[in-house]
Structure 1
């Protein structure tokens, strides 16, 4: 197993993509710290791991608060003796979910968005590197977004924060690289948890929750017989965390985009469409 006896922190591990990652890390042998601002959610996921025969611990953490992040990392090392992987997954959606025009945006909402989605990634990385440094190795994976590559309409603060994350990954990789520590990011597009919006512990992606998957109706260019799901992104997270990606650092990879990010809004008939006409 790729993570046998490895120690992994997953922030935002109490629901959605974070929960799915916790279960996969544990299945591959890791001792997992489930960190979440909701302690009850974190404990519920840790209990799932323990019930399946794995090792897990729940910690309440606000990733926008440095003392909280530092305490989370220090408690992990005190309990398990080391930290091998930080999956900085926690994040929040755009206040108003894209329906608030730029000229009506609230400054406090903007600052909260940056504090969680960008500063939270910085603090998680900073304190992970701090304790990984003596070992001369380690991996940090940050959950960015397709909004870090393109823009989600109306999600102005979120898009700015996630573009900041992708820039941070490049710079952090240069700094941490001298210590043998890697820093990368995944940028999910499709297959995201419904819980990202609702805050509930959902196991389904938006596409799964909608039901009645029809590959001919979806706008995703890649036509597959099933909807994208959480594990499609988690597989990339685990790859970047593992020794399989030993020489990868400073990259932000589009996960589960299915070709969406490779097209423009212009309506241009393709040669395939013409051939089928």
Structure 2
């Protein structure tokens, strides 16, 4: 197991009224025995738990256990090795703290930062350790675009209350790195990116996508193109569902449309869980 816990785990109060945290062996034993559905929430780059935890709150209405992983600003734009290690640590901690061998898991990830970790989970055979029944991707994926990247870095730093000069410096570094990567890709080969990585992964379960026309970090046209590709790849074997919004900002769809957002997530979960139960009986 990793040296420190990297996941924040929340238990539904209806099922666990005594404690909302994993504090003792008896509670952990009960959790493993119950095999209640688990929602793995993977936040956006730089998203702090204060905000990511709001998604645990909505899933509590479905009496689901949630495990949250907050993607640091560095991890969100990390190397392949960093993302792979984070994915492996997530699976290992889920196994030790919750017991996930028989527990249905739905992944709810955000932006390209969360998408980068989700990608490593499903790309490097980590998913075989989890009984994934579906995935919901909020505000992603998007292609590598300079303006969108600048907006993403700036938004993350604003949320962190970073000083203005520090933000300017970070944006300048991001621009320089982007230019160097473009040059490298032009003359020496491929540059690893979440959009291209996810688009080639086989469709193994139902997928849901939530995006907005107003998003200035992840462009709606990129998400639509990605969804069309996934539908062709699925070939009708799994549902690819979408919630297209008009005027909500990047990773702010729940805040702008709470009822519509929850309705989409809950309906998606119900369908995915039904398919899982039907397959389990075969």
Q: Tell me which protein shows more helix as a share of its residues.
A: 2
- Say yes or no: TM over 0.5: no
TM-score relative to the length of structure 2: 0.41
TM-score relative to the length of structure 1: 0.41
